Structure 1
Amino acid sequence: MTASVTIITPMFNSEDFISETINSVISQTYKNWELILIDDCSSDSTLKIIQPFLEIHTNIKLLKNEVNSGAAVSRNKGGQLAKGDYIAFLDADDLWHPKKLETQIAFMQKENCHVSFTSYQLIDQDGKLLNTEVKALKSLSYPKLLKSNYVGNLTGMYNAKVLGEITAPNLRKRQDWLLWLAAIKKSGKDARGVQEPLAYYRVHQNSMSANKLSLVKHNYWVYKKGLGFSTLKSTWCMLVFLREHFFVKSKQIVKLNKS
């Protein structure tokens, strides 16, 4: 019997992209999955758009937050209801390659790893490739991940059958980084990276990566609030982060030749 996968997708005013995102899950060559959509009090047409998917696909489920709570709360709620042997995450504006689940699960089983992630490519608001690929490290330790977030959340997956549920602290931003830190720590061994690009990260004006100043601020709170470090240690970690992000991690970003 093939392993099952739970995919968790928080939504908030996601009408522009959610249909395409869901279709990228439905198109997976690996079929033993459930998709949990968590709506965070959307005021647009998100719920209307996803209704036909809910009527046709019994393995797509919807949760609704009573108040706007942020992605961390939404992901944690999805994790509490997850039935899959593996847990994966896909934001409401990102996409997966059709063989993402098939390739990644086979990789994890072959490598006997409990946490994995993959390379991914960047797309613009219209879904057009930006000829940029973010390469996954082949192996990722907890100390290395503490320096900078090397896991694209849309690519990450962990073995819930082995590790149990992994929750994220209730921070508005960068809580996914803390989740992967917790997963690797609980695993007791390095995460492994699939070198093949299996996902597509959408870059637009609301993307964290598009606002460098905001990125620095929210990363500081990962250390200070998320991990409970002192102000001095958090400041030191941010200095290490800046060096890692701009001089080491940047080497993982590869410009591709236009076809």
Structure 2
Amino acid sequence: MKLSVALCTYNGSKFIEQQINSILNQTTKVDEIIVCDDKSTDATVSILKEIQVANPCIVIIENEINLRSTKNFEKAIQLCSGDYIFLADQDDLWNTEKVAKTLAIFNENLTAEGVFTNADLIDDNGTKLSNKTIWDSVFFFEKEMQKPIDFVDIIFKNGNIVTGATLCIKKEVKSFIFPFSKDNLHDEWIASLLAFKNTLYYSSENLISYRIHDNQQIGMKNLDKMEKITRKKRVILGLDIPNSFSEYRFLLKKIFLKKKEIVNFQKYNFDFIDFQKLQSENNIEWELISEKTKSAFPIRYKITSLIDAILGKRTL
């Protein structure tokens, strides 16, 4: 069994040595670390080359042009030769047992093709920010959700809950994820396809420390807004019942957006996605929530439905 890490860098000199060392110091050693540097203008590559001298498992690829995060990860994953491929950001820290505990989830779930985990949140200095985790920041209330979890429903209504820096995939996944969609970030794209296949699994352990800092290309945007939008997110996820017209309206909007996303995926012709079944289930949910909204708020429902029809909203 060969283990790979797909690591993308861009001007990451401040934290890259700490991250590389956390990957090298795993209880279960990785065989290769494929680093794709996206035209860094700082000392990132120099630092990597210094570490590489004593660690030939590190392979450094310097991009000729700046690809940005999603395309850079596409390239890095393609270059990995391992049976399992761990995705990594340049500024995080891995728990020493991240690799071992992730592989254990695969071993316990033989149909798994991808495993993601929870994570602590840390600042520039590596100090834990709070008792909140990365799952809190993406509103993945795993403990309260009905099992098995419907990841398609969550991703298309709530938003992506799979942070790429925590994700590991089997090499077989490479046969259907390329090329990455232009409309999705790399982790959302991979997570969506694994969700469709019902091969996405997780560990609730915090197996990395995810760093929050000002120079992130992509990072957590919700930390200062979490309390304000948690109620709506809980309604979307079916954990709380809507108690106002605006909440019913918001839920209907998200159900429609899920339908729209499913339609968008049809153009890729994935044979493992039962689009007819998904659309049927979504239509049933739409009708059910529509009837509840109409019953609870008949006049407002009639007026907003008329306005939607005039403006062409909620139509594909």
Q: TM-score, normalised by structure 1?
A: 0.74
Task: Find the aligned partners of 1:56 and 1:170 in 2 and give their Cα distance.
Answer: 37
In terms of fraction of residues, the more helix-rich structure is: 2
The residue that corresponds to 2:282 in the other structure is none
- Indicate the percent of aligned positions where both proteins have the same amino acid: 26
Paired residues for 1:193-208 under 5 Å: 193-205=202-214, 206=216, 207-208=218-219
Residues 67-216 of structure 1: matches in 2 within 5 Å? 67-112=65-110, 113-131=112-130, 132-135=132-135, 137=142, 139=149, 141-147=151-157, 148-161=159-172, 164=175, 166-167=177-178, 169=180, 171=182, 174-185=185-196, 188-205=197-214, 206=216, 207-210=218-221
For structure 2, the residue ranges without an aligned partner over 5 or more in a row are 224-256, 267-316
CA distance change for structure 1 residues 173 and 48 in 2, over 3 Å: closer, same or farther? farther
Q: Which amino acid aligns with 1:204?
A: H
Deviation at 1:102, TM superposition (A): 0.3
CA contact 1:15–1:49 (8 Å) conserved in 2: yes
1:33 aligns with 2:31: yes
Q: TM-score, normalised by structure 2?
A: 0.62
Instruction: Report the number of matched residues.
Output: 217
Taking structure 1 as reference, are residues 211 and 34 closer, same or farther at Cα in structure 2, changes over 3 Å only? same
Offset of 1:66 from its aligned partner? 0.3
Does the 8 Å contact 2:191/2:200 carry over to 1?
A: no
Q: Which has the higher strand share?
A: 1
1-structure distance, mates of 2:21, 2:30: 15
Deviations for 1:176-204, whole angstroms, at most 9, x for unmatched residues? 2112212333xx21411111110111111
Q: CA 1:165 to 1:94, structure 2 compared with 1: closer, same or farther past 3 Å?
A: farther
Q: For residue 53 of structure 1, report the CA deviation from its aligned partner.
A: 1.6
Summarize the Cα distance change of 1:142–1:32 in structure 2 as closer, same or farther, 3 Å threshold.
Answer: same
Shift of 1:59: 1.1
CA distance in 2, matches of 1:68, 1:98: 32
Please give the secondary structure, in 2, of the residue aligned with 1:84.
coil
Contact 2:113 2:172 in 1 (8 A): no
Superposition deviation, residue 163 in structure 1: 5.8
Give CA-to-partner distance per residue, 1:87-146, whole Å, 9 cap, x none.
Answer: 111111112100000001011111222211111110001111113223464745223222
Partner SS for 1:208: coil
CA distance in 2, matches of 1:172, 1:18: 28
Task: Could you tell me which runs of 5 or more consecutive residues in structure 1 were left unpaired when the two chains were aligned.
Answer: 213-219, 230-259
Output the CA distance in 1 between the equivalents of 2:150 and 2:35.
29
Cα distance in 2 between the residues matched to 1:182 and 1:85? 19
AA partner of residue 71 (structure 2): V
CA pair 59-27 structure 1, distance change in 2 beyond 3 A: same
Are the structure 2 counterparts of residues 172 and 116 from structure 1 closer, same or farther at C-alpha, using a change threshold of 3 Å? same
Map of 1:5 onto structure 2: 3
Task: Answer 1 or 2: higher relative contact order, Cα 8 Å, separation at least 6.
Answer: 1
RMSD over aligned Cα atoms:
2.9
Larger Rg: 2
